Structure 1
Amino acid sequence: MNVSTYSIKDLEQLSGIKAHTLRIWEQRYSLLSPKRTDTNIRYYDDDDLKLILNVALLNDNGYKISKIAKMDIAEIREEVVKLTERTLTHDDQIHALTISMIEMEEERFDKVLSTNILKIGFEQTMLNIVYPFMSKIGVLWQTGAINPAQEHFISNLVRQKLIVAIDGQVYKGGGKKFLLFLPEGELHEISLLFAAYLIKLKGHKVIYLGQSTPRADLELVYKMHKPDYLMTVITTAPSAEQVQEYIDNLASMYQESEIILSGYQIIGQDLRFPKNVKTMNYIREIKEYIEEMELISQEK
């Protein structure tokens, strides 16, 4: 894996500490040791990032920077582990997950998630910690502040947790039928998996096709199951130039179902949505949508 390099702006985005403050800490306490390129441009490496993430977490929780600066790396890390085990502040937990991602440390990542799931439940852990965290690293990945290996590492760990949670929900019959899929070429599956979990949790049937579903396969499964709802999340595929055509084709081919769309290529874009298409800004809206749907059914 290539060694990652970071600008001071990258450190600011990842740690939440202003670049001006980082420079002061660097000068006054020698916390950071920037390297220089052949053209004399300052940069930081993974060790610098890990250190500043840990320092930021301690500082946010009342540790004075003068005290932190006197600790060695092992002492700082030990204090951070103690802190993340006892605090339930969402920002702190997101910070702890970020450190685990940078260090690619599976056990620590798993411990943070498992502790929160035990204390506040799987759903609240996903909504208040994992999703904000995934949104954060999505932006950082797009700007090059983290590398693809780190993003894949974390996504796969979250995916494993979701699959286990989904398997734990037993369908008992009844309810509505939801067909969940991603378009061909689309691989970003976390939101769709969480939607599958919430839908099954509410007692509805989920037919899950997952990543990069060929159109022919989607059409075949649709004819077999005749679902009440189709749901997909469009993050990168189809492209922005092709999304409108894709939406129109879905709406035309599956007129007997309501189609639920979300994702970066959908939300906030200048698109036209046919009458059988509904959009969701955030995945948490699927829960509200299902509850609303159930109320309407009860009233009929």
Structure 2
Amino acid sequence: MPEDTLPDTTPLFTAAEAETRTGVPAATLRQWERRYGIPAPARSASGYRMYSPLDLAQIGRMQALLHDGVPASRAAELARQEHAGPAPAPAAPSATPQKRLSDELLAALLAPDLDRAALVLGAAHSQFPVEEVVLAVMAPTLTEIGTLWARGEITVAHEHQASAYVRGRLMGLLELAGRAEFGPRVLAACAPGERHEIGLLILVLLLRRRGVQAEYLGADLPLADLAAYARHRPADAVLLGLNGEWALGPTQAQLGALRGLRLPIFYGGGLLNARPALAAELGGQYAGADAQRAADTIVAALRPGAQEES
């Protein structure tokens, strides 16, 4: 193709505008980008994808080839050859099966196609243990959804629906895990002012699978009610999740309610990951930077004799 007829590589269009102009959903464009390196949008200063006329030409050609029955990898290759741009970056390492499933789950949730999401998770459960499905498929999908929402690439409605779907699946896994008849009892709740539940639900699931009688008491729980429940139903530890500064003030204001419980208190969540020393300031112990490490930390701390050893 003569140089003066090449499509412009100037980044001009947002993800929403590219979707409108090409008819290809933004979630599909991101999937093509990850898998095939096409399109290859630039990034704005704030991190948003910005598509050029060259990108739109490649998207249109790839879509036409797919409609003609050409396999996706071959369609991407042909679209790139026919609408050549700058030399492509080196190919990324092949994605793991878990990463591919996570990408498929993301695309299904953003479509939204919840039947397809269920099929993806069914395929994941047929290949991997429950913990791996949760930690390597579901959790990365939610992280990416949160990132897309923060960048303005998806709506709050998309984020809420995806989170609600994953929360429902986690609640089902908790029911399947059941409750141990023996072992330490841990009462888990989101701290006052905290409504982001999914990270804590994952940790409760991991604790149950390690033989802990882990009970989830809900989001935005007043500490006085938590203390009353702990006295009514004797426990071995309390676990509180805080993901943002919005929960810190209410938690600090209500800490007096936990005095006298004489129970170890574990703190986890995004806020603690950013400020681990905060756990000691709140009179407790930092659980860990991720659900797996937090579960291991809690189980080790509650095993018989652990308190005497420490």
TM-score relative to the length of structure 2: 0.69
Is 1:210 aligned to residue 218 of structure 2?
yes
| Aligned-residue CA RMSD (Å) | 3.7
The aligned counterpart of 2:33 is 56
Q: Which has the larger displacement, 174-183 or 258-267?
A: 258-267
Seen in structure 2, the aligned counterparts of structure 1 residues 145 and 243 have a Cα distance that, compared at 3 Å, is: farther
Q: Which has the larger displacement, 273-282 or 91-100?
A: 273-282
CA distance in 1, matches of 2:34, 2:286: 40
Counterpart residue type for residue 189 of structure 2:
F
**Deviation, structure 1 residue 119:** 0.5
The aligned counterpart of 1:223 is 231
The aligned counterpart of 1:129 is 137
**Deviation, structure 1 residue 271:** 3.2
The aligned counterpart of 1:256 is 262
**Deviation, structure 1 residue 104:** 1.0
Is 1:183 aligned to residue 191 of structure 2?
yes
**Deviation, structure 1 residue 68:** 3.8
SS at match of 2:215: strand
SS at match of 1:286: helix
The aligned counterpart of 1:16 is none
Q: Deviations over 1:257-291 (max 9, x none)?
A: 11111122222237361564234211121332245
Counterpart residue type for residue 191 of structure 1:
G
Q: Deviations over 1:31-74 (max 9, x none)?
A: x99489xxxxx94347351341342254169xxx7984652458
The 8 Å contact of residues 90 and 129 in structure 1, kept in 2 or not, is answered as yes
SS at match of 1:213: coil
Pairing 1:125-204 to 2, within 5 Å after superposition: 125-204=133-212
% identical aligned pairs = 17
- Which 5+ residue runs of structure 1 have no aligned equivalent? 1-25, 37-41, 81-86
Counterpart residue type for residue 114 of structure 2:
E
**Deviation, structure 1 residue 93:** 2.0
CA distance in 1, matches of 2:68, 2:197: 36
CA distance in 2, matches of 1:234, 1:74: 51
TM-score relative to the length of structure 1: 0.71
Q: Which has the larger displacement, 137-146 or 96-105?
A: 137-146
Seen in structure 2, the aligned counterparts of structure 1 residues 237 and 196 have a Cα distance that, compared at 3 Å, is: same
SS at match of 2:29: helix
The aligned counterpart of 1:265 is 271
CA distance in 2, matches of 1:121, 1:206: 20
- Which 5+ residue runs of structure 2 have no aligned equivalent? 1-5, 39-57, 74-94
CA distance in 1, matches of 2:37, 2:102: 13
The aligned counterpart of 1:22 is none
Is 1:27 aligned to residue 29 of structure 2?
no
CA distance in 1, matches of 2:159, 2:142: 9
CA distance in 2, matches of 1:126, 1:146: 23
**Deviation, structure 1 residue 190:** 0.8
Seen in structure 2, the aligned counterparts of structure 1 residues 73 and 56 have a Cα distance that, compared at 3 Å, is: farther
The 8 Å contact of residues 247 and 273 in structure 1, kept in 2 or not, is answered as no
Counterpart residue type for residue 163 of structure 1:
M
Counterpart residue type for residue 53 of structure 1:
R
The aligned counterpart of 2:45 is none
Residue 104 of structure 1 is aligned with which of 98, 109, 112? 112
CA distance in 2, matches of 1:218, 1:267: 23
Counterpart residue type for residue 273 of structure 1:
A
**Deviation, structure 1 residue 231:** 0.8
Larger Rg: 2
Residue 297 of structure 2 is aligned with which of 270, 275, 289? 289
CA distance in 1, matches of 2:12, 2:65: 16
The 8 Å contact of residues 186 and 237 in structure 1, kept in 2 or not, is answered as no
